Amino acid sequence: MGYIGTKMPPLMHCSGISAETHRPRSTAMRRQGVRCLTRSWAGVNGAVRFRCTPPTIDGWIELIHPEDRPQLADALEEHRTVTQDIYYLYRVKHKNGTWRFWHDHAVPVLDNRNRHVRWVGGISDITEPKQVEEALATKAAMERIISKASRRFLTLTELDLSIQECLADIGRFSSADRAYLFQFTPEGTTMNNTHEWCAPGVKPEIDNLQGLPLSMFPWWMDILESGETIRINNVAELPPEARAEKELLEAQNIKSVLVVPFLLENRLAGFMGFDNVVFERAWGEKELLPLRTLAEIIGTAITRKRAKEALQESEERLRLQIERMPIALILWDRDFRVVTWNPAAESIFCYSSEEAMGRHPYGMIVPEEVHAVVDALWERLLEGDITAHSVNENTTKDGHSIICSWTNTPLRSHDGSIIGALSMVLDITERKRAEEERENLQAKLIQAQKMESIRTLAGGIAHNFNNILMDRVEPP
């Protein structure tokens, strides 16, 4: 612990309140500072041995983390009047450039009239335990964000809104100024900023980042295509080969960037990242791990969404084909009950889809006299026979008898088990009648041809007999 003595307020600094007048003098307060430091101060502050100059208040403020400075401003006011011990926790920049957590205990020294004479402070560097505490809190917060993101994408009903909410969660968690998703266009030549979250007071850039050619950013794309993370702590220090990237980032007043590849079906499809525009920052695992995880979750969700849409489109095309095809299509479950009954089946058998669904064909379209034949065909289908076809008599709803040609195929699940059958049915009654009529006509024609042949043969024989008889009757 390092101890200090000050001529008045806050933390380790002079308050600027005169013991004689009790009136604030802000100018004097800014010029005054820490009057003495113990040798342990060097260890706390990272100074070499004890060669350090007690700081002024302005100098002290420069060491405080920007997010913690408002607390210091409040402390300057509080130390003018408070007479109790005060405790503070804030971050101070160490000589090596890292941020250290300090716990500050300030004790007022009062004169016999209860007026401030000075403050004596004690500082404890609690960085290590604070880091452990923050690591546990960070882990718990990250798990909540990931869990919430996973739940959001269960249904895929509002994908864009879910992505936006996830970017907001992770942006706030990582204290970023922007969080965003870029996706490549289908042809793979340009990219669009499809989703963006901005912290309060940060200007959105999404409208300015549409249709960007990938060829403009070779340095950026080379890193992403190799599967690596782009971690830029200071945009101003980008290498010459990243000139195009540097110009675009500086045009948006971006100081620091963290970007990870965004994959769809294991192929690079864009990137997700953070920007900082207020001040430079070093990106660590706290920001990188949730960003990577969320990129994977969103990538999986988009892949599922596209697969679902493709399946729906395929099913819709199939439905239209089934509905418009002139052949009856019937799907049966394993219990031989109707699952699908298309309009052509309605037309052939005169049962609507609602009337046919869930019904067994017996008692509906298969007359009793052919039950044995159909039973044998169904057993063959359940055994996987793909040649179980038939032509047999069927019955319509209004009791008419028709002749149908049945082409049957067993249906299998993903594990190969038989789950039902598909039947494609043609009403061939008219064709069958025409064939029978043609066969009858053909038979009659053949019969007529036979009779004609017989008549011709009989005529010839009669002629020959007549010649023979004439020879015998005529005198020589």
Q: What would the two tokens of residue 455 be? A: 């008549």
* Phi, psi (degrees; rounded to nearest 5) at 58: -60, -40
Give the pTM. Answer: 0.59
The answer to whether 54 and 36 are in contact (CB under 8 A) is yes
CATH tag for 2-125 (out of 3.30.450.20, 3.10.20.30, 3.40.50.150, 3.40.309.10): 3.30.450.20
Region 23-44 average pLDDT: 46
At residue 49, does pLDDT exceed 50? no
CATH architecture of 325-427: 2-Layer Sandwich (3.30)
The reply to whether 2-125 and 134-308 are identical in fold is: yes
pLDDT beyond 70 at 169: yes
Longest dimension (CA), the chain: 189
Mean pLDDT of 308-315: 88
Q: What is the pLDDT of residues 352-401, one digit of tens each?
A: 999 999 999 999 999 999 999 999 999 999 999 988 899 999 999 999 99
What integer pLDDT is reported at residue 463 of this predicted model?
54
Rounded to whole angstroms, the Cα distance separating 325 from 313 reads: 18
Residue pointed to by tokens 């990242």: 273
Over residues 182-227, the pLDDT tens digits come to: 999 999 999 999 999 999 999 999 999 999 999 999 999 999 999 9
* pLDDT confidence of residue 375: 94
What is the per-residue pLDDT for 103?
84
* Confidence (pLDDT) at 475: 55
User: Which comes out higher in pLDDT, residue 12 or 412?
Assistant: 412
Helix axes 285-324, 127-152, angle to 10 degrees: 10
CATH assignment, 134-308: 3.30.450.40
Model pLDDT for residues 434-471, shown as the tens digit of each residue: 777 777 777 776 766 666 666 565 556 655 555 555 55
Structural domain boundaries in the chain: 2-125, 134-308, 325-427, 437-476
